[in-house]
Amino acid sequence: MLVKRKGSHFMKRILFLLSLSGLLLLLSGCWDRQEVNDLAIVTAAAIDKKGDNQVELSVQVFVPKSLGGGGGQGGGSEGGGTGKTTLVISQKGVNVAEALSMVQSELPRKVFWGQCKVFIFGEKAAKEGIQDHVDFLLRHPQPRERADVFVSEGKAKRLLELQTLLERDVSEAIREQAKLGVGMKVTLQDLGEMLASEAQAAALPYLKIVTEKSEEVSYQFVKNFATAVFKNDQMIGQISQRKTRGLLWLKNEVKDYTVTVKPKDTKGGISLNPISVHLDLIPQIQGEKWKMVVKVQTEGSVIQNGTNLDLNNPKSLKMIEKVYEEDIKKYIESTIGQVQHKLKADIVDFAKEFHRKYPEQWKQAEHRWEEVFPEVKVNIYVDANIQRQGNINESERRREEKR
Amino acid sequence: MIRNMSKLLRKTKKKKQNQQESKPQDALHQSFNENVEIFRSIYENCSDVVFRPFSIFGKTRAMIIYIDGLSDVEGLDENVLSPLMQETANESQPFNELLENKLPVSNVKKVNLLADCIESISTGNPILLYEGGSDGFSLSLAKWEKRSIEEPAAESGIRGPREGFTESLQVSTAQLRRIIKSPALKIQSMKIGSYTRTTVALAYIEGVADQTLIDEATNRLQRIEIDGILESEYIEALIEDNPYSPFPQIKSTERPDVACANLLEGRIVILVEGTPFTLIAPISFFSLLQSQEDYYQSFMISTFIRWLRYGFFVISLLFPALYVAVTTFHQEMLPQALLLSIAAARETVPFPALVEALMMEITFEALREAGVRLPKQVGSAISIVGALVIGQAAVQAGLVSAPMVIVVAITGIASFMIPSYIMAISVRMLRFPIIFFAGTLGLLGITMGIIAIAIHLCSLRSFGEPYLAPLAPLKGRELKDALWKSPLWKMGTRPHFTGESNVYRQAQGQAPSSKKGGESGN
């Protein structure tokens, strides 16, 4: 009996403690709680320069009603997403933080950065320096470090206001395009690292609005066009789409594009897709001479053959490989030429390679890297293999020749 | 038990102010008249008790006492009354030996004690009293209406035996015996319940089940003093280790094959008269997530289905809570497109996600419960109400978001994937505090809830065996039947905690292969 009584007393105590801890939960008052329908979900943000020392922040906010998922009392009359899916709001401020607070004052819902995956800097803002803005984006807990960062030609806000046909909104279109690897893809974290790196240079994809005109409609879309080059945190120039490809080779980010080469003594061209790329940057210091050996190993597959060459013939295959190698080399050379001698910004991050291999020499040269970098001699070796020449079809020109 | 009985009897006696102060443990009287009087006073106002006076061989006065409807009246007429009334006596034999020989009844027991007589009458075996003897005969002529053996409704399966236990204990024990024919299968029975006198049988295999386990079970059963046992849950509630746990510590089954499988693993089975549900102990958490069919299928399929079940067990416990936590605290965790869809769907919903989730979950539980209680004729109404009103109309009216309906539906399906019904219900119940935690503290709250449950599970025991075995304490050898299911020929040993006294259950190296088949000629 004694045991029983003790047990019930114990249980009482447990229940008491349990109810106490239950009350503790209520005390917190769900302070951190944010219902989805109280959020203004930012899908993209643009930072522009406005007037003197003013920053204009534009946010693209998702409009949930536009998807018409809730059914609604109207019996789905407004369903089907007929309305605009996004809303662009811009406000000025001394800096991004202030502009943001102004944006917030215009919105009935709390601005939520957690899903913002696209940040675009206007060209003017980029030329003034982006360090300030990046500081805000990295310091604020909500923006994602994995969001993509871009620079736009002209005002960035214009991009946010574009209508898209294929994707839900322009932010998604830009993001998906960057993912394809046609141009550069730089995340907020990458940018932060670039800005903090020894090279003191950064490269961001450069967006441009392109108008496609047909007889009836003209349609504007965003093109991941080229690359904006930053020195310290200021944009100093850009490199073209063609040279961006060379940059992709150097950054080992080549993914999905087609190289068309035209071998000598033949008509037509042959198109190749790189399958795998291996890149080695080997820094060398001989005396006062700084040298960088760039070794590219790549495998390609033939996707179109418009020449009269027989690809089953090892000789012609070798020849194409040779041409392919030279083509890649040309790309890289022209890119390096511009980066090294015209822009003088080490966006390829040679600095890191030298620092790693020659820490002593690097220490001495660190402060004058700007002067050293254009002087670095670059040797490029490309080793290309063609793995899949494709045996199904013979080229038309070859057939003609046979006849 | 006996004491209770006597107390009860004494009380009635006192009330009646009867001159005969006879106690049940008393022996029968010498006098036939007195005996009859005693029985008449005991069964006063019992209209279903029949007293049939007659004379044996036309000389000796005798009396048959039985309960109408519990005994085989035809058998009584044919095999007791007619031979005794019509034949003549052979004087040379002693009278009671003669009686025994003349009764063509399979089991005739001599009873001396009043208590035994009462027991015998209440179980349907008529008592034969006769003049000149201080003993009576208990005739095994019990017969009452029984349900026939049917397929168990709560534990159906595709493959495997289709018979289930019934309410009759004799039939149930016979079903066990039909599967395990060895005399090592022991079935000890005892009567529990001062009024119901319910027969409870403890079955085990001698030499496989641990003796201490048998002793412990017997002890716990004998400790029970209660007025009545109506279902095996009464027993379960009185013998389980931790009564304050939402998790069942004793498994119930209505399948003889499941009971026998557990007997073979060294567990005990408690059968209770009047219910098809038998109890199995000790059990582990994992055994509640296993179904009999796991053993009737290829091990690969069983493992796959087991993991499916584990996954849906977690979903059943956490899914609504995760939905609430992610949509109200951690919106950045969802893929963008998904969040936007949810945001669009939630646009018209007037409630916070927490309230929405609680509302829908409670409605679902109500629907489920109503479905169980509803008569079959109106059963289809519940599905219409559930599907149309709650599902479609609520979403169309903008009261509930479509994703929440999906979440509740998936959770509902998940909870029905747990083979043990009691386990499924306790998981359903635990879901609510976790949803509440999620609504107040987000993922942190869910983690707290999971930790609390894990701590509780670790401390739980079933008949002294750790509840989370073989995972905690880790018994690597036994994961073969918990985390995955090994092929039968690899299950060479019995479970550690229950089958320790007889470890090996089959010969080693029975993995079949075509080569071995060819070599068997050697």
DSSP string, A140-181: SSSS-TTSEEEEESS-SHHHHT---SSSSSHHHHHHHHHHTT
H helices present in B265-401, as ranges: 299-328, 336-346, 353-373, 379-384, 394-396
Cα R_g (chain A), whole angstroms = 28
CATH of the domain at A255: 3.30.300.210
How much of chain B is helix, strand and coil, in % rounded to 5? Answer: 50, 15, 35
- Tell whether B265 and B342 lie within a shared domain: no
Residues A143, A230, single domain; the answer is yes
Residue A338 in any domain: the answer is: yes
Residue B303 lies in a domain: yes
More confident residue, B277 or B28: B277
B435's tokens: 């949803």
Q: Which of A204, A239, A274 is the last residue of a domain?
A: A239
Q: What is the pLDDT of residue B175?
A: 94
pLDDT of residue A80: 44
Tell me the C-alpha distance between B255 and B166, whole Å. Answer: 10
pLDDT tens, position by position, A256-313: 778 888 887 777 788 888 888 888 999 998 888 889 999 999 888 888 887 777 777 8
Domain ends where: A186, A212, A239?
A239
Max mean pLDDT among A282-291, B155-164, B178-187 falls in: B178-187
Domain presence at residue A311? yes
Q: Are residues B119 and B182 in the same domain?
A: no
Q: Report residue B15 as tokens.
A: 């009330």
- Residue B504 included in any domain: no
Structure tokens at B488: 């039968």
Residues B265 and B340 in one domain: no
d(CA B445, CA B69): 60
Could you tell me which residues are beta bridge partners of residue B128?
Answer: B64, B137
What is the pLDDT confidence band of residue B517, given thresholds at 50, 70 and 90? low
Residue B14 has pLDDT above 70, yes or no: no
Question: Strand, coil or helix: what is B512?
Answer: coil
- Asked if residue B453 belongs to a domain, the reply is yes
Q: How many domains does chain A have?
A: 2
Is residue A100 located within the same domain as residue A219?
yes
Quick check: A181 pLDDT over 70? yes
Q: pLDDT tens digit string along A140-173? A: 888 899 999 999 988 999 888 888 878 888 888 8
Whether A378 is covered by a domain: the verdict is: yes
Range A43-70 average pLDDT: 85
Residues B383 and B358 in one domain: yes
Q: Are residues A211 and A260 in the same domain?
A: no
SS3 call for A303:
strand
> What is the structure's pLDDT at A5?
52
- Of B459, B480, B509, the position where a domain reaches its end is B459
* Residue appearing with tokens 């009859």: B36
Residues B223 and B251 in one domain: yes
Specify whether A202 is located in the same domain as A249: no
Closest chain A C-alpha to B340 CA, distance in angstroms: 7
Tell whether A398 is covered by a domain.
yes
Tell me, yes or no, if B405 comes closer than 8 A to chain A by beta carbon: no
Mean pLDDT (whole number) for B8-21: 48
Same domain, A211 and A256: no
Closest residue of chain A to B352, computed from CA coordinates: A35
- Residues B276 and B369 placed together within one structural domain of the fold: no
Contact B343 A64 (CB under 8 A): yes
pLDDT tens sequence across A327-365: 889 889 999 989 888 888 888 888 888 999 999 888 888
For residues B485-491, give the mean pLDDT.
Answer: 88
In chain B, which residues have their Cβ closer than 8 Å to the Cβ of A75?
Answer: 396
**What share of chain B in percent tops pLDDT 90?**
45
Asked if A249 and A214 sit in the same domain, the reply is: no
Which residue from B38, B100, B27, B97 is spatially nearest to B65, judged by alpha carbons? B38
Q: Say if B342 falls within a structural domain.
A: yes
Q: Are residues B351 and B446 in the same domain?
A: yes
- Contact criterion met (CB below 8 Å) for B64 and B76: yes
Q: Are residues B197 and B238 in the same domain?
A: yes
Q: Which of A221, A239, A257 marks a domain boundary? A: A239
CA distance A36 to chain B (A): 6
- What's chain B's average pLDDT? 86
B441/A contact by beta carbon, under 8 A: yes
* Mean pLDDT along residues B263-289: 93
C-alpha span between A298 and A295 (Å, rounded): 10
Query: Among all chains, which residue has been given the structure tokens 């003034």?
Result: A128
- Alpha carbon of B456 to those of A10, B246, B311, B376, B451: distances in Å? 16, 10, 20, 39, 8
Number of CB pairs, chain A paired with chain B, less than 8 A apart: 101
- A172 with A292, same domain? no
Q: Is A30 part of a structural domain of the chain?
A: no
Residues of A with CB below 8 A from B329's CB? 32-34
Whether residues A284 and A375 share a domain: the answer is yes
Q: Do B344 and A64 touch (CB under 8 A)?
A: yes
Token digits of residue B132: 């000149």
Question: Which domain, by its residues, includes A297?
Answer: 240-403
**pLDDT class of B246 with cuts at 50, 70, 90:** very high
> Where is A130: in which H helix or E strand?
none
Q: Give a yes or no: residue B470 inside a domain.
A: no
pLDDT, average across residues B232-250: 93
B399 and B306 in one domain?
Answer: yes
CA distance B338 to chain A (A): 11
Give B400→chain A minimum CA distance, Å.
9
Per-residue pLDDT band for A366 (boundaries 50, 70, 90) equals confident
Residue A151 lies in a domain: yes
Question: Domain residues for B83?
Answer: 2-139
- The per-residue pLDDT for range B338-374, each reduced to its tens digit, is 999 899 888 888 999 999 999 999 988 988 888 888 8
Residue-wise pLDDT tens digits, A194-246: 888 888 889 999 998 888 877 777 777 788 778 899 988 899 988 888 888 88
User: Mean pLDDT over all residues of chain A?
Assistant: 83
Asked if residue B382 and residue B276 are part of one domain, the reply reads: no
Choosing from B405, B424, B459, the residue where a domain stops is B459
A117 contacts on B by Cβ (under 8 Å): 336
Question: Do A267 and A323 fall within a single domain?
Answer: yes
Q: Is residue B25 part of a domain?
A: yes
Do A131 and A59 touch, CB atoms closer than 8 A?
no
Residues of B in contact with A71 (CB under 8 A): 348, 395-398, 402
**One domain, residues A368 and A263:** yes
Q: Which of B329-338, B459-468, B511-520 has the lowest mean pLDDT?
A: B511-520
Least confident of A31-35, A44-48, A318-322, B420-424: A31-35
How many Å lie between the alpha carbon of B321 and the closest alpha carbon of chain A? Answer: 14
Q: Is the pLDDT of residue B19 over 80?
A: no
ipTM: 0.82
Q: Is residue A16 part of a domain?
A: no
Contacts of A73 in chain B (CB under 8 A): 348, 397-398
Å between A163 CA and nearest CA of chain B? 18
> Does residue B285 sit within a domain?
yes
Does A64 contact B439 at a Cβ distance shorter than 8 Å? no
- pLDDT(A71) > 90: no
Given a cut of 60, whether residue B480 has pLDDT beyond it is yes
Cβ contact (<8 Å) for B343 and A70? no
Rounded distance between C-alpha atoms, residue B475 and residue B101, angstroms: 60
Give the C-alpha separation, B467 to B457, whole Å: 7
DSSP run (H or E) holding B503: none
Asked if residue B401 belongs to a domain, the reply is: yes
pLDDT at residue A29 in the model: 59
Structure-model confidence comparison of residues A293 and A66, the more confident one: A293
Q: Mean per-residue pLDDT for B59-82? A: 87
Last residue of a domain, one of B265, B295, B325: B295
Whether residues B196 and B243 share a domain: the answer is yes
Same domain, residue pair A256 and A374: yes
Instruction: Tell me, yes or no, if B446 comes closer than 8 A to chain A by beta carbon.
Output: no
Query: Average pLDDT, stretch B382-386?
Result: 78
Residue A383 domain-assigned (yes or no): yes
**Taking an 8 Å Cβ-Cβ cutoff, which residues of chain A contact chain B?**
11, 25-26, 28, 30, 32-37, 39, 41, 43, 62, 64-73, 75, 112, 114-115, 117, 142, 144, 168, 172
For the segment A82-103, what is each residue's pLDDT rounded down to a tens digit? 567 888 999 999 988 999 999 9
Q: Cβ contact (<8 Å) for A11 and B244?
A: yes
pLDDT in tens, B79-128: 888 888 877 666 666 666 777 777 777 788 888 888 888 888 988 899 98
**Confidence band, pLDDT 50/70/90 cuts, at residue B451:** very high
Quick one: B233 and B349 in the same domain? no
Say if residue A60 is in the same domain as residue A175: yes
Determine the 3-state secondary structure of B501 from DSSP.
coil
Number of domains in chain B: 3
